[in-house]
Structure 1
Amino acid sequence: MPDHVLITGGAGFIGTRLARRFAAAGHSVTVLDALIPQVHGDDPATTSPLLRSLDGVATVIHGTVTSKDDLRSALSGASIVIHLAAETGTGQSMYEIDRYTETNVGGTAKLLDVLANEANDVTRLLIASSRSIYGEGAYRAEDGTIVFPPHRSDAAMAAGDFDVHLDGFGKLEMVPTDEQAALHPSSVYGITKQMQEALIMTVAPTIGIEPVSLRYQNVYGPGQSLKNPYTGILSIFSTLVRQGKDINIFEDGQESRDFVYIDDVVEATFLGATRPGAAGGVFNIGSGVATTVNDVVAALFAAFGTEVPTRISGNYRLGDIRHNVADTRRARDTLGFEPAVDFREGVARFVEWVLTEPVEADGYQRSLDEMAERKLLK
């Protein structure tokens, strides 16, 4: 039977595509979104293609998860809630601490408070969690032991040592991180995502709602903001290429992430929200492949058919991790999720879309200056 689906933060990059996926499957969709200028511009009705893409797809409520009144309005009739609403950006979270905590933790607490204390029809609540809650993730020591190293030190990185270390275990090799790994986030953003997940996975079962947590890896693809400097390196580097500006590659360029294409994330989320077997589960959603920053630059240059000068600078940001790649076996076995788009194909699709968009004003340098002023960028 069709469900009524509420997507908080549903006017964003992931939410708009997810809304269309649910609508195409015959479900009715409500979106609650604060439509912040950093994502949607100063006049969203005219400056936000994401918002316009919801015309005829979803009922849009301009509101915030930090308001119980807005939540009550949005929850009316909903049977499935997809909780995407969050302030994002690891670097920015380290100095906009109150805003990140109020929205991510406080908004989640308000959502649960309304669900726990007021009549509603919600049967499943899915939280968009994050790979950031793992911190450095899993590594294999020389003796075969799987360990979870602490955050890298400022002193070591200043000396050009960007690898992770754990006293007494010798050289460490990064391995895929599964859902049983230790949780030790290295940023305020990661802490707030861990809190969101913990609140929902703890409270929801006590009030008769099935919780599901999806730990997204690095999501990318067409529709990703090209003007928000906190959305990720694919958008940032693409803008620099189109402007003909140099690319500053932090650390040694060998740091890696698990990039997962937007369509794959949407399908995984749809499965997590609708598959009976997902109830109560925590799932990594990624490609299962580690891609270095140097690989990202090479893929972008190939897709654009042009290059700009690059510089491996040795700069680094406090709070960044060295490597991350997801173990995705649980999502495959329980949800039936298999990523369909590999990185090269995904980048080609992304660049094809980028070339149809205007060249945006670059706020990236401003974001770096803000971090440097606070001694978070070295």
Structure 2
Amino acid sequence: MKKRILITGGAGFIGSNLALKLLAKGYEITVLDNLSPQIHGEDPENTSELFKSILNKVTFIKGTVTSKADWEEAINGQDIIVHFAAETGTGQSMYEIRKYIDVNINGTAIMLDILANQTHQIKKVVIASSRSIYGEGKYLSEELGMVYPKHRKSEDMDGGNFEVTYPGCTQPLQLQATDEESKIHPSSVYGITKQNQEQMIMTVCPTLGIAPVAFRYQNVYGPGQSLKNPYTGILSIFSTQIKNGNDINIFEDGEETRDFVFIDDVVDATILGIEDERANGEVFNVGTGVATNVITVANSLINNYGANTPVNISGNYRVGDIRHNFADLSKIKQKIGFEPKFTFEAGIKLFTAWVNEQKVESDNYEQSIEEMKKRGLYK
């Protein structure tokens, strides 16, 4: 008998790609998604390519994870839940605080409450966690050994000092890959909500005889990601700026780094978590294990588009952003055999080729910046 899988947020970027690959493997898929205009545009049911990619292939429920009735309808008859539905975006989370708490934390709480108190046949829950829970990450100090710096101070960044520091360290800190045992200390409301989601699921599910699996995804990108959302996704934001003939604005000094992981690798890792019993009860990083700085990202996009876009390294910064992060993949490789297949260079070629086939979206980046400026979150 085919296993039935519910994917919340299954019309989104990662969710829709996962749904299509699981369908090809013979699973029956139900999707619960509210088709948020921020991701899908103002007329999502007619214009969202992400939604249209799964239309008539899955059982689709238009609803929200903040509704108990929608959850009850979606969970009925399912064997596995993959919980992707969430508000995303570090900067936006710092002022739309109640919305992020309601959707990410309370939405997850409603699901767990149903699983704890109602009849169902759920055997496994997979939760999309995030690298954002690591905050400023892990560093090696010559004087103190391994340290986990606190959030950077505005007074330092106002003076152009963007690198992290640690009390008692006189030498520059050496960036390390964050493993799953690294300190959890998020620096944004978004990160806090992802930490809370992960911990609730990893704590509650085992008491109910349900296997939990958490994936701490790094910066996911690839063909199909939303080009409409100015709040998250540096590759899509920069691409929309380039396609509109606008300058690229780079925060800080451009040397900040992220671990960019291609969508196909993320889907493959997630399917391993669904199918491999060795994943049960575990938390895994999903990335490439490579740190890429933002200047490299901008230049790679410009080169692949054949553009002459000016790059402005502004020295501005967003409150809540971290300086560096990249994943230690030792655990996921050893436990369930995951190996990323796509380098950043290969993934960027595929991503930009896809963008070239899309219609140019409006560049609403400045609007998102103005919202943060008004609240003192962009400096």
Within 5 Å, which residues of 2 pair with 1:362-377? 362-377=363-378
Query: Structure 1, residues 266-290: CA drift from partner, whole Å, max 9, x if none?
Result: 1100111110000000000001000
Partner of 2:162: 162
RMSD value, Cα? 0.9
Partner of 1:63: 63
Partner of 1:151: 151
Task: Give me the whole-angstrom Cα distance separating, in 1, the residues matched to 2:64 and 2:250.
Answer: 36
Partner of 1:81: 81
Give 3-state SS (helix, strand or coil) of 1:289's partner: coil
Answering whether residue 190 of structure 2 is matched by residue 203 of structure 1, we say no
The CA deviation at 1:144 is: 6.6
Within 5 Å, which residues of 2 pair with 1:188-199? 188-199=189-200
Query: Structure 1, residues 24-49: CA drift from partner, whole Å, max 9, x if none?
Result: 11110000001111112222221211
The CA deviation at 1:323 is: 0.2
TM-score by length of 2: 0.98
Partner of 1:344: 345
Give the counterpart letter for 1:375 in structure 2: G
Give 3-state SS (helix, strand or coil) of 1:53's partner: helix
Give the counterpart letter for 1:208 in structure 2: G
Task: Give me the whole-angstrom Cα distance separating, in 1, the residues matched to 2:258 and 2:144.
Answer: 23
Answering whether residue 332 of structure 2 is matched by residue 327 of structure 1, we say no
Task: Give me the whole-angstrom Cα distance separating, in 2, the residues matched to 1:150 and 1:174.
Answer: 14
Query: Structure 1, residues 96-135: CA drift from partner, whole Å, max 9, x if none?
Result: 0000000000000000000110011100001000000000
Task: Give me the whole-angstrom Cα distance separating, in 1, the residues matched to 2:261 and 2:162.
Answer: 24
Partner of 1:259: 260
The CA deviation at 1:76 is: 1.2
Q: Is the 8 A contact 2:90 2:232 kept in 1?
A: no
Query: Structure 1, residues 51-74: CA drift from partner, whole Å, max 9, x if none?
Result: 111023211100111111101110
Aligned CA distance change for structure 1 residues 270 and 43 (closer, same or farther; 3 Å): same
Unaligned runs of 5+ in 2: none
Query: Structure 1, residues 175-213: CA drift from partner, whole Å, max 9, x if none?
Result: 100000111100000000000001000000001100000
Equivalenced residue count is 378
Within 5 Å, which residues of 2 pair with 1:172-183? 172-183=173-184
Give the counterpart letter for 2:180 in structure 1: E
Task: Give me the whole-angstrom Cα distance separating, in 2, the residues matched to 1:244 and 1:43.
Answer: 26
Query: Structure 1, residues 151-184: CA drift from partner, whole Å, max 9, x if none?
Result: 0000000011000000112320111000001111
Task: Give me the whole-angstrom Cα distance separating, in 2, the residues matched to 1:140 and 1:157.
Answer: 21
Query: Structure 1, residues 210-229: CA drift from partner, whole Å, max 9, x if none?
Result: 00000000000111111111
The CA deviation at 1:233 is: 1.0
Q: Could you list the structure 1 runs, at least 4 aligned residues long, displaced by more than 6 angstroms after superposition.
A: none
Partner of 1:308: 309
Task: Give me the whole-angstrom Cα distance separating, in 2, the residues matched to 1:238 and 1:30.
Answer: 32
Task: Give me the whole-angstrom Cα distance separating, in 2, the residues matched to 1:35 and 1:131.
Answer: 25
Partner of 1:101: 101
Q: Is the 8 A contact 2:124 2:211 kept in 1?
A: yes
Partner of 2:3: 3
Give 3-state SS (helix, strand or coil) of 1:235's partner: helix
Partner of 1:16: 16
Give the counterpart letter for 1:209 in structure 2: I
Partner of 1:294: 295
